[in-house]
Amino acid sequence: MSINRLQKIISESGLLSRRKADLLIKQGRVTLNGRQAILGEKADPNSDHILVDGRDLPKRLNPKVLLLNKPYGVISSCKDDYGRKTVLSLIPSHLRPGIHPVGRLDFDSRGAILLTNNGDLTLRLTHPKYFHTKTYLVWVSGQPSQSILDNWRRGILLDGKMTMPARIEVLDKVNRKTLLKVVLKEGRNRQIRRIATLVGHPVQDLQRISISNINLNGLQEGKWRELKKNEWISIIN
């Protein structure tokens, strides 16, 4: 027996994230044994008949997690309507079925991004309640004062809401720019870039070097590697 909540079963099939599965169940687009499914109910994928938009779930995929060092100018999505290069295009075609990027890394940013078919991992790393850290190396214009950095550490008003406290360390100062190490527990849209602009020190370069306990560790830009289970399992346990 492998009884689990429907949204977890759907996400583990690689078809959708758990959050999207929740939405489809609420919209009545999921059936269980011929009737409309109810959010929160459980099923056994080996014996129960589950349909999403009238189609059977794909066979359950073996969990797969890839770490990619995304270059500048690559889109963090599975496809792009304008024909731009995506993170999926940087991995071999035989590994792509069911794989999706976990969260986003801006077009003009580079560094660590995870790709997976594991819905639990996606949920844990994208839902704000889990507070997984992400670490960035950021070159900013000028040399921010101690008071500016202290305010940034405590939190900055962004879109009418204070950001969570951040860890910020000055690593280097060269001519008219400063290298910062920034550690966040949240990931609002273009958060670092927007804050840096607000405090008068716009970002010149931004690289994410780690996601939770997963680090680039010398992985070259544009390259990827498949993570061993013991590297990512602690995130969802």
CA distance 148 to 191: 16
**80 has catalytic annotation:** no
Q: Which of 48, 80, 106, 205 is catalytic?
A: 106
Reduce the secondary structure of the chain to three states and give it as a string: CCCEEHHHHHHHCCCCCHHHHHHHHHCCCEEECCEECCCCCEECCCCCCEEECCEECCCCCCCCEEEEEECCCCECCCCCCCCCCEHHHHCCHHHCCCCEECCCCCCCCEEEEEEECCHHHHHHHHCHHHCCCEEEEEEEECCCCHHHHHHHHHCCEECCEECCCCEEEEEEEECCEEEEEEEECCCCCCHHHHHHHHCCCCEEEEEEEEECCEECCCCCCCCEEECCHHHHHHHHC
Residues noted as catalytic: 106
